[in-house]
């Protein structure tokens, strides 16, 4: 899609792989019809970033059914925060790869730990490439930290649940302030300020107050803010500061 994780394009260009991006619909959902044509592969983030939108498994099935001769990569970096994983579909489709990261729900961004799921044949192909380039992609501290994070299920579930609860509270407060957004299924909310508020002005005002959100100066999304979900205290401070900014600037 034209609005998604930016590094897909970067890596394609680094390895000189021709690629094409398809525009999201007006509501920022992905149109499956755009992917019903010959191609060398499909990459879809689900839930997507920065929109936070999750497409259901019927959508994923449609992509897989219309691309039987191509590999379909579903990036589930944010799946723990909302939505249903596509992992069960691996048993039905031999062209599906599901990729995950420990940078989000496992809070190990600095370790750069990623992993993927697929059928035996596809994983063998990936390993052939991996071992021909770099057999040792992770150091021992990263391996130990990653294993510990996966084993501590109780902490993981508690953390994800708290993020979801705080996200729901933040979304409700944003609604009271006139913000609009799609149903967020990530650890952030992609929200549009009420008119006549300007997203960039709010971004700058929050920055001056020591609160950082993301603003993308790009067509179609320059009037939106990506608001990451922090602790309850952090989000309360954010909302209170935001109220003052809106009162002053809007």
Model confidence pLDDT, tens digit, residues 104-162: 999 999 999 999 999 999 999 999 988 888 778 889 999 999 999 999 999 999 999 99
Residues 6 or more apart whose CB falls under 8 angstroms from that of 245 comprise 202, 205, 206, 209
Q: Given this chain, do its domains 7-140 and 154-249 carry the same CATH topology?
A: no
> Which option is the CATH number for 154-249: 3.30.110.30, 3.40.30.10, 3.40.50.720, 3.90.1150.10?
3.90.1150.10
Give CATH for domain 7-140.
Answer: 3.40.640.10
Q: How far apart are CA 246 and CA 186, in angstroms?
A: 25
Q: What string of pLDDT tens digits covers the 250 residues of the chain?
A: 999 999 999 999 998 999 999 999 999 999 999 999 999 999 999 999 999 999 999 999 999 999 999 999 999 999 999 999 999 999 999 999 999 999 999 999 999 999 999 999 999 999 998 888 877 888 999 999 999 999 999 999 999 999 999 999 999 999 999 999 999 999 999 999 999 999 999 999 999 999 999 999 999 999 999 999 999 999 999 999 999 999 997 8
Instruction: Report the C-alpha dihedral over residues 96, 126, 114, 63, rounded to 10 degrees.
Output: -20
> What pLDDT was estimated at residue 132?
86
Does pTM top 0.85 for this prediction? yes
> What pLDDT was estimated at residue 165?
99
Domain ranges across the chain = 7-140, 154-249
Instruction: Report the C-alpha dihedral over residues 83, 87, 88, 89, rounded to 10 degrees.
Output: 100
């Amino acid at each position: 899609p034209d609005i998604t994780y930016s590094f897909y394009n970067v890596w394609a260009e680094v390895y000189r792989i021709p690629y094409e991006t398809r525009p999201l619909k007006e509501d920022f959902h992905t149109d499956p019809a755009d992917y019903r044509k010959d191609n060398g592969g499909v990459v879809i983030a689900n839930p997507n970033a920065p929109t936070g939108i999750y497409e259901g498994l019927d959508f994923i099935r449609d992509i897989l059914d219309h691309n039987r001769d191509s590999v379909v990569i579903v990036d589930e970096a944010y799946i723990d925060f909302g939505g249903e994983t596509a992992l069960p579909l691996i048993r039905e489709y031999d062209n599906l790869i599901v990729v995950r990261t420990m940078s989000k729900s496992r809070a190990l961004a600095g370790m750069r730990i990623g992993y993927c799921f697929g059928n035996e044949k596809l994983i063998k192909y990936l390993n052939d490439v991996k071992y021909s380039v770099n057999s040792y992609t992770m150091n021992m501290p990263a391996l130990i930290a990653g294993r510990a994070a996966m084993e501590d299920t109780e902490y993981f579930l508690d953390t994800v649940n708290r993020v979801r609860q705080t996200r729901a509270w933040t979304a409700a407060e944003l609604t009271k302030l006139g913000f609009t957004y799609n149903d967020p299924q990530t650890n952030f909310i992609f929200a549009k300020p009420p008119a006549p508020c300007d997203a960039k002005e709010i971004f700058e005002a929050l920055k001056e107050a020591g609160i950082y959100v993301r603003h993308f100066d790009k067509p179609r999304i320059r009037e939106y803010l990506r608001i990451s979900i922090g602790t309850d205290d952090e989000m309360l401070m954010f909302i209170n500061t935001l109220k003052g900014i809106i009162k002053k600037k809007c």
